[in-house]
């Protein structure tokens, strides 16, 4: 009886000591917590709680090997779900995902409602790319711990990787509401919410004129056995056109990882994953021998925008010509031009200037309108042309490209009016004789236009001429307009 009483007393003292040790660990007093664990272990060499405590201390100090050994021994000594969860966490930190999963599964088996272990197993499945399982596990854990911020962040991540950005944003928004001062959440919310900027892909993908022009040019240009390099994957449409046209292999580069993942899914759905490879890398980081098995025979690079140069087509294509293309490589598009027209537009005024609003003078804000080439859809604004179209700039993408330059142009005025702005648009010669124009006075186009306000908005008369000074610097085009005669 005295033996039993002594054993119970010792166990009670050990439990009390370990409780104190855990409290000191939570307070960050690691040295004191270690002394408690060592003291208990000296009295009871098989004490699972002491080994558990010392194992976590080793993990805190970055000694994963000792942590794993101690936690293994704690588990063997009769430790429960908490020990298995912590053992799994150590393995997870060492990227031992299979071992971590086994420990988390044992923890869940021992305690089916253990939300931490369920969520941790979800994190393993996420790292293993088993997204459907990860999603189900995070939802199970959140049913047990509603509003738990780390679980909501993890769910947002897995939903984003699955391509369900609405669900990702909903999960991250819940996390943001629960932890409004967490900058990591705010960055994730901004990243996912910012994907709405990619919505411009939809009208472009549904632009039949654009698609037909590229299809005809690709079918004319790509030959059997070609290695095609595409810069800017988007949906993967042009890359698939190149494969269908006979390319032996297409390597397409997409810097936005979410778009790269969606493009892979699209390409696989269309049965072309064996010939089209999507890589989430910048063309400037790509090299022959790494991303490309050899210099490419064909380059496809629709890195153009409303002002022609804004997506760095000059720098991108020049770099590819120097490093990534075979001699004599064919380039699509072959050429592109920036065209313009002088216009008067009462409706456009609301986009170009501001004055007195509600009794307040906001005119200093109008300086923002002089930024180089504002971009918006000018169709439907009732613009009245004051003269014919003129060419602002032409680039030949098949030849070495200068990154800067100047030109002086003359344009005619054929109708009197107030010169509010120059409306500009691109015209792409995808291949010889195959032209796509974003002229707002022509058929519907998925491309917006660029607008350069004319300072002072002068009155002009028929017969006068406009002097337009053009300067381009890699991504930017600057225009200065004066009235002559």
Q: Mind listing the pLDDT tens digit for each residue in 43-54?
A: 888 787 777 778
CB atoms under 10 Å from CB of 65, counted, come to 10
CB-based contacts of 44, cutoff 8 Å, min separation 6: 10, 14, 50
Per-residue model confidence (pLDDT) at position 1: 30
Higher-pLDDT residue of 438 and 381 is 438
Alpha-carbon separation of residue 307 from 76, 100, 112, 380 (angstroms): 68, 52, 59, 20
Instruction: Please state the domain extents for the chain.
Output: 14-197, 206-300, 335-484
pLDDT bracket for residue 372 (50, 70, 90): low
Write out the two tokens for 123. 């994190």
Over 70: is that where the pLDDT of 8 sits?
A: no
pTM score, whole prediction: 0.72
Q: Are 66 and 58 in contact (CB under 8 A)?
A: yes
Over 80: is that where the pLDDT of 58 sits?
A: no
Average pLDDT, integer, range 441-467: 90
- Architecture of the domain whose range is 335-484: Distorted Sandwich (2.70)
pLDDT bracket for residue 67 (50, 70, 90): confident
Per-residue model confidence (pLDDT) at position 258: 80
State the Cα–Cα distance between residues 3 and 45, nearest whole angstrom.
18
Over 80: is that where the pLDDT of 199 sits?
A: no
Write out the two tokens for 207. 């632009």
Average pLDDT, integer, range 429-436: 96
Length of the chain: 485
State the Cα–Cα distance between residues 279 and 295, nearest whole angstrom.
16
Q: What is the CATH number of domain 206-300?
A: 3.40.50.150
Over 50: is that where the pLDDT of 2 sits?
A: no
Q: What DSSP line would sit under 322-356, residue for residue?
A: HHTEEEEEEEES-EEEEEEEEEE-TTTHHHH---E
Spatial CA neighbour of 173 closest among 158, 153, 201: 153
Per-residue model confidence (pLDDT) at position 11: 57
Alpha-carbon separation of residue 355 from 348, 351, 352, 358, 364 (angstroms): 14, 12, 11, 10, 8
Q: Mind listing the pLDDT tens digit for each residue in 382-409?
A: 889 999 999 999 999 998 888 899 999 9
Element at 60 (helix H, strand E): helix 48-60
Higher-pLDDT residue of 97 and 40 is 97
255: alpha, beta or left, given left = phi > 0 and alpha = psi -120 to 50? alpha
Residue in the structure block whose two tokens are 């690691």: 30
Q: Mind listing the pLDDT tens digit for each residue in 344-371?
A: 988 777 777 788 899 999 888 877 765 5
Write out the two tokens for 369. 């309108």
Q: What are phi and psi of 20, to 5 degrees?
A: -65, -40
User: Would you give the DSSP letter of residue 437?
Assistant: E
Q: What is the CATH number of domain 14-197?
A: 1.25.40.10
Element at 205 (helix H, strand E): helix 201-205
Average pLDDT, integer, range 63-71: 81
Over 90: is that where the pLDDT of 337 sits?
A: yes
Over 90: is that where the pLDDT of 252 sits?
A: yes
- Mean of the per-residue pLDDT values of the chain: 88
Write out the two tokens for 412. 């005619």
């Amino acid at each position: 009886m005295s033996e039993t009483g002594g054993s119970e007393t010792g166990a009670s003292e050990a439990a009390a000591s370990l409780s104190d040790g855990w409290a000191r660990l939570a307070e960050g007093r690691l040295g004191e917590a270690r002394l408690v664990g060592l003291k208990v272990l000296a009295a009871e060499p098989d004490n699972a709680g002491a080994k558990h405590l010392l194992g976590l201390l080793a993990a805190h100090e970055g000694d994963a090997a000792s942590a794993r050994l101690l936690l293994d021994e704690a588990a063997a000594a009769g430790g429960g779900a908490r020990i298995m969860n912590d053992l799994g966490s150590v393995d997870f930190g060492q990227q031992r995902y299979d071992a971590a999963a086994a420990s988390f599964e044992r923890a869940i088996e021992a305690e089916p409602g253990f939300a931490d272990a369920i969520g941790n197993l979800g994190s393993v499945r996420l790292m293993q790319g088993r997204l459907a399982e990860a999603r189900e596990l995070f939802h199970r854990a959140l049913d047990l711990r509603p509003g738990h911020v780390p679980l909501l962040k993890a769910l947002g991540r897995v939903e984003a990787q699955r391509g369900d950005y609405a669900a990702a944003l909903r999960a991250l928004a819940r996390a943001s509401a629960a932890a409004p001062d967490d900058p990591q959440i705010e960055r994730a919310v901004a990243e996912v919410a910012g994907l709405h900027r990619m919505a411009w892909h939809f009208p472009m993908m549904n632009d039949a004129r654009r698609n037909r022009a590229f299809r005809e040019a690709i079918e004319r240009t790509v030959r059997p056995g070609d290695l095609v390099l595409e810069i800017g994957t988007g949906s993967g449409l042009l890359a698939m056109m190149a494969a269908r046209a006979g390319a032996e292999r297409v390597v397409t580069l997409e810097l936005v990882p979410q778009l790269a993942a969606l493009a892979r899914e699209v390409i696989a759905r269309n049965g072309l994953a064996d010939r089209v490879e999507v890589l989430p890398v910048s063309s400037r980081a790509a090299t022959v021998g790494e991303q490309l098995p050899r210099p490419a025979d064909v380059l496809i690079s629709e890195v153009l925008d409303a002002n022609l140069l804004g997506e760095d087509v000059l720098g991108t294509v020049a770099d590819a010509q120097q490093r990534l293309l075979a001699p004599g490589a064919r380039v699509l598009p072959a050429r592109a031009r920036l065209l313009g027209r002088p216009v008067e537009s009462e409706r456009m005024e609301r986009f170009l200037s501001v004055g007195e609003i509600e009794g307040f003078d906001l005119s200093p804000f109008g300086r923002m309108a002089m930024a180089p080439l504002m971009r918006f859809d000018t169709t439907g604004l009732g613009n009245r042309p004051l003269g014919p179209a003129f060419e602002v700039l032409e680039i030949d993408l098949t030849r070495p490209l200068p990154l800067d330059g100047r030109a002086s142009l003359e344009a005619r005025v054929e109708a009197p009016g107030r010169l509010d702005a120059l409306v500009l648009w691109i015209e792409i010669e995808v291949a010889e004789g195959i032209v796509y124009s974003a002229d707002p006075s022509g058929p519907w186009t998925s491309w917006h236009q660029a607008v350069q306000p004319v300072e002072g908005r002068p009155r002009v008369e028929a017969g006068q001429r406009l002097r337009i000074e053009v300067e381009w610097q890699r991504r930017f085009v600057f225009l200065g307009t004066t009235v002559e005669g």
